[in-house]
Amino acid sequence: MSRTPRDVVGGVAEDAYTVTFDGREIPALAGQTVAAVLWGAGIMAWRTTREGGAPRGAFCGIGSCYDCLVTVDGRPNQRACLVPARPGAAITTQEGTGHADLAV
């Protein structure tokens, strides 16, 4: 049987809302980071590297490594482990530097 942290502490979910990830609606709860929301939806990678396009997601979870970069509401290079999820946020996979349209 699988248990969640909420099962252990007996908490009650409050302020549920949705965000989108690459156009797909996913559930979120107040207080979650973008990384937590993505993990909760079973999404483990949301960035590709500049060299080779290898998938990346959260690595350190404390904002030190920059592996979890994601684009939120059109702003690239947001650290998913630090950015709070907001109702209606549009989160997209970040390709490379997130500035492909700048041609730099």
pLDDT per position as a tens digit, 30-59? 999 999 999 999 999 998 888 888 888 888
**pLDDT < 70 stretches in the chain:** 1, 10-13, 97, 99-104
d(CA 62, CA 31): 16
Q: What is the CATH number of the domain that holds 47?
A: 3.10.20.440
Strands in 47-48's sheet, in edge-to-edge order, are 55-56, 47-48, 94-95
- Domain membership flag for residue 5: no
Task: Please report the pLDDT score of residue 102 as a whole number.
Answer: 47
- The total domain count for the chain is 1
State the pTM of this model: 0.79
pLDDT score, position 13: 63
Amino acid identity of residue 79, one-letter, is R
Where in the sequence is the domain holding 85, given as residue range(s)?
15-96
**Per-residue pLDDT at 83:** 96
User: What three-state secondary structure class fits 8?
Assistant: helix
Report the alpha-carbon distance of residue 50 to residue 86 in Å, rounded.
Answer: 28
Query: Are 76 and 92 contacting, i.e. CB atoms less than 8 angstroms apart?
Result: no
In a domain, 25, yes or no: yes
